[in-house]
A and B are shown apart, each in its own frame.
Chain A
Amino acid sequence: AQSVTQLDSHVSVSEGTPVLLRCNYSSSYSPSLFWYVQHPNKGLQLLLKYTSAATLVKGINGFEAEFKKSETSFHLTKPSAHMSDAAEYFCVVSVQDMRFGAGTRLTVKP
């Protein structure tokens, strides 16, 4: 069985400052991990995925995530937040089927 925990339900940053969204996972097997972004009343868009290749994964819009097996973490980062980054972010762990975290709402202040 696998599960995922997003450690913060809400993160607020100022425009131009770094973003860190935290995700821990639990899995009996080597998982695939994903980050998705959801804007209001929209579907989910894939930001990036980890599938047992390089542990540092680069995604779209300047986001990246690092897979740390020893810490069972897959935190999402971005060096400089933009107003358009304000959205809900979901961490997902997958072995045979996908398990979604509860989401982290990112607010970006001007």
Chain B
Amino acid sequence: DGGITQSPKYLFRKEGQNVTLSCEQNLNHDAMYWYRQDPGQGLRLIYYSQIVNDFQKGDIAEGYSVSREKKESFPLTVTSAQKNPTAFYLCASSIGSKKGNQPQHFGDGTRLSIL
């Protein structure tokens, strides 16, 4: 069954620590995305990747980093520079490279909290 797998479901970060959120897809999609969701707000784009070995900053990239070494994988690192990392993080993928009429498919998210 095709889909997007995010792990872990819950993650805790200590002060000064970097943490990495995993996102894997077996949909054979070219494009992948990371969003941050805060209560009462819509999703905000952190980073996106249209193709392997290439990625672009979204609206709120500061304090985050990504890599895209394989088509199936798009991990997100929340660095110590991100001062307010507590949020729900969603990974998504789509067939096209940011084509407007292609829907995105979402994982079930990772909830990150500060210890």
Contacts and interface: CB of A to CB of B under 8 A. Distances in A.
B42 A51 contact: no
A32 to B, nearest CB: 4
B71 to A, nearest CB: 20
Contacts, number: 58
Given A43-B106, A46-B103, A90 B42 contact: yes
- Chain B contact-residue range equals 20 to 34
A49 B103 contact: yes
A44 B37 CA distance: 11
A77 B105 CA distance: 22
Contact of B98 (A42, A51, A97): A97
18 contacts: A31-B100, A32-B101, A42-B109, A43-B106, A44-B90, A44-B106, A45-B106, A49-B103, A96-B100, A97-B48, A97-B100, A98-B104, A100-B42, A100-B43, A101-B42, A102-B41, A103-B40, A103-B42
